[in-house]
Amino acid sequence: MATPAAITVAITGSIPTKADNPAVPVTPEEQVVSAVEAIDAGATIVHVHVRDDQQRPSSDVDRYRTVYDGIKRERPDAIVQLSTGGRGRSPDERFSCLEVRPEMASLSTGSVNFATSVYENPPQLVEQQAARMLDLDIKPEIEIFDFAMLYSCVELLKRGLLAPPPHVQLVMGIKNTLPPKESILDFFLSELRELIPDATWTCAATGRFQLEANRWALRRGGHVRTGLEDNIYYEKGRLAQSNAELVARLADLCAEYDRYPASPAETRQLLHLNQTTESATTY
């Protein structure tokens, strides 16, 4: 029997600009339009970064709120996940978007080198922000850019700083982090199943490996992510026309693996959103 796969669309990110692909949505208005199209094509989770007027990464709470409210106004059922990601902004700024009280937000549980910078997440910051998300009933998506982050996630669970079961995302392909390899996903899953057996997971990869990683995850029962944040091409030599175009292809791909795009209600149930859950597992 086919099983549901939650499709996340990462609409903008910190890096691509309109010079790279004119379809990258950068103003709040463009972001809402792009998110709605992607939702209508099959995405249930919209991962949002905001930009300033020069297309640089921003943490402006008002912008976050405008995009959040705009998406929820057009598609009330959609799950909006705000990014607390870095790229040169201070931790206070990065986490200010939690004030918007999104249903989900990203949380990386460790530090890592990116292409030209350190993505800095010291232990105190991670603990403090995990506790804050718990307080505000915001479901973190634990971002795993390196394996230590998985073990740190287990520690947070043991200390009651994450509500079980967590949702984790393995991200591969960012320069200086884990390369996009199927064997790495398999090692990640073997550790995840041993340490946090009831965790839900998504696998994401960048560039030309985005679609490959979608296949790897669908085959293994995981959830999937696409979007212009991670990849601006539809195929070699041809830019994607929109986030929706990437989502539509992924939604179609699900059937090849006996999966289908999860509805918002199914996604909430699968990822234990807005539910007080008692985990049977002792971490």
Interface with Mg ion by CB under 5 A: which residues?
83, 85
Q: Rounded CA gap, 93 and 206, in Å? A: 25
For residues 103-121, one letter each, b for 16 or more C-beta atoms within 10 angstroms of the residue's C-beta and e for the rest, the string is bbbbbbbbbbebeeeebeb
Q: Rounded CA gap, 37 and 118, in Å? A: 34
Shortest distance, CB of residue 86 to Mg ion, whole angstroms? 10
SS3 266: helix
Q: Is 48:82 a contact under the CB 8 Å cutoff?
A: yes
Nearer to Mg ion, 94 or 259 (CB): 94
Nearer to Mg ion, 178 or 257 (CB): 178
Nearer to Mg ion, 17 or 279 (CB): 17
Shortest distance, CB of residue 204 to Mg ion, whole angstroms? 9
Nearer to Mg ion, 130 or 228 (CB): 228
Shortest distance, CB of residue 213 to Mg ion, whole angstroms? 15
Per-residue tokens: 88: 């040169």
Q: Is 220:5 a contact under the CB 8 Å cutoff?
A: no
Nearer to Mg ion, 25 or 85 (CB): 85
Output helix, strand, coil percentages for the chain, rounded to the nearest 5.
40, 20, 40
Shortest distance, CB of residue 50 to Mg ion, whole angstroms? 11
Q: Rounded CA gap, 67 and 46, in Å? A: 11
Nearer to Mg ion, 114 or 147 (CB): 114
Shortest distance, CB of residue 83 to Mg ion, whole angstroms? 4
Per-residue tokens: 204: 């994401």
Shortest distance, CB of residue 237 to Mg ion, whole angstroms? 25
Nearer to Mg ion, 225 or 259 (CB): 225
The residue sitting closest to Mg ion, measured at its beta carbon, is 83
- Kindly report the backbone phi and psi dihedral angles of residue 175, in degrees, each rounded to the nearest multiple of 5, phi listed first: -50, 135
Shortest distance, CB of residue 279 to Mg ion, whole angstroms? 27
Nearer to Mg ion, 14 or 200 (CB): 14
Shortest distance, CB of residue 14 to Mg ion, whole angstroms? 7
Counting Cα atoms < 13 Å in the Cβ hemisphere of 226 gives 34
CB atoms within 10 A of CB 93: 15
- In angstroms, the Cα distances linking 14 to 26, 80, 150, 157 are 10, 17, 23, 29
